[in-house]
Structure 1
Amino acid sequence: MAPKDIVEQTYEIIDCFFDPSSKSSDIETDCSVGDDDDSFDPCEIAGKLREIGDEFDEQTIHQFKRALENDSNQVEAAFTKTAEALSNTWMAERGEVAMEKHLLRASVTLGLYVQRNYPKMASAVQVAMTAFLISRVAPWVSQQGGWDRVASE
């Protein structure tokens, strides 16, 4: 799958992630995903991502919470730092799992946390989460064959 397609799909998935009421038919798709990719459903993938994001390290989340409360201009930096800290902790516990899966899980965990506890910050975190996934996880998603394959694992 082309990296551009992964980037476009990432935007669609994160849009669904932050708006659980949306349906796939509501999402405008500009990407050309090809005939063999008709199974791509960003809202279904967003739902699967929500399932993996329910666990978190309370101390790390507390630091993220403080960063959100103290400086809303630093959301992306705080998001990146916290996602990396969570994934490094999980990597130490389960080194056999690909680092990108830990990064994905950490991103989703933070996104859910903000959605539930700081809904006013959700749009800023949505931007940070999308940028983080595109820069840190999208190349791996492409190597795996796309978001639909990653979500089905």
Structure 2
Amino acid sequence: MAPKNIEHQTIQIINCLFEKYSSESVRYRCMVEPDGVTDEDSFDPVLIADKLRELADNYDDTVIQPLIKNVQQAAADQVVAAFSRSVDSLCQSWVVERAEVAPEKQILKASIMLGLYVKKHCPDLTGIVQGAMGDFLNTRLASWVAQQGGWDEVASR
């Protein structure tokens, strides 16, 4: 099981990904005041969200649009499952094209792509998908993120 701080950081990063404001106002609103000086003081969810946006910039509407329809048609309590199936579907299509990319990195990229696509094209689903994305990433990737040394390390690769 991944440390709770990774799960909390994941939620902070997703919140920053879904913000509509400039980087500076997002930085102000996304940052949590530290209790003391620790190694975690260097954690910046805005910088990580920016790097993850770059990772997901090249999405293909023809591939993602059918997957979004599945998410749109899912009842609110089924969005996590629909989101998960959509990410898995994207990853399977990439395995043939990009076998050299780690499966966890593919899951991360597909999650970010789908989340940002929803934000842009289906704003009424943003809140539901944001929560689903947090649950999904914490379930599927939190242990891997912890093994890599945290979100700062994942974003720097």
**What is the TM-score when the length of structure 1 is the normalising length?**
0.87
Which letter maps to 1:52?
L
Q: Distance in 2 between matches of 1:47 and 1:60?
A: 23
Q: CA RMSD in A?
A: 2.2
1:46 counterpart residue number: 49
Unaligned ranges ≥5, structure 2 = none
The answer to whether the aligner puts 1:131 opposite 2:135 as a matched pair is yes
- TM-fit CA distance, 1:68: 3.4
Alpha carbons of structure 1 residues 117 and 40: separation in structure 2 relative to 1, 3 Å? same
Which letter maps to 1:97?
V
Alpha carbons of structure 1 residues 31 and 147: separation in structure 2 relative to 1, 3 Å? farther
2:15 counterpart residue number: 15
Q: Which runs of 4+ in 1 moved over 6 A?
A: 30-34
- TM-fit CA distance, 1:34: 6.6
Which letter maps to 1:152?
S
Which digits, 9 at most, give the CA deviation of each residue in 1:16-41, with x for residues without a partner?
A: 01114243332353888971232210
Q: Distance in 1 between matches of 2:72 and 2:93?
A: 24
- Match of 1:23, SS state, is helix
Equivalent position to 1:143, from 140, 147, 155: 147
After alignment, is 30-39 or 20-29 more displaced? 30-39
Equivalent position to 1:97, from 83, 98, 101: 101
Which letter maps to 2:67?
F
- TM-fit CA distance, 1:77: 1.6
2:71 counterpart residue number: 68
Which digits, 9 at most, give the CA deviation of each residue in 1:102-129, with x for residues without a partner?
A: 0000000001100110111100000110
1:116 counterpart residue number: 120
Counting matched residue pairs gives: 152
Q: Distance in 1 between matches of 2:35 and 2:68?
A: 38
- State the identity as a percent: 45
Q: Distance in 2 between matches of 1:103 and 1:65?
A: 16
- TM-fit CA distance, 1:148: 0.7
**What is the TM-score when the length of structure 2 is the normalising length?**
0.85
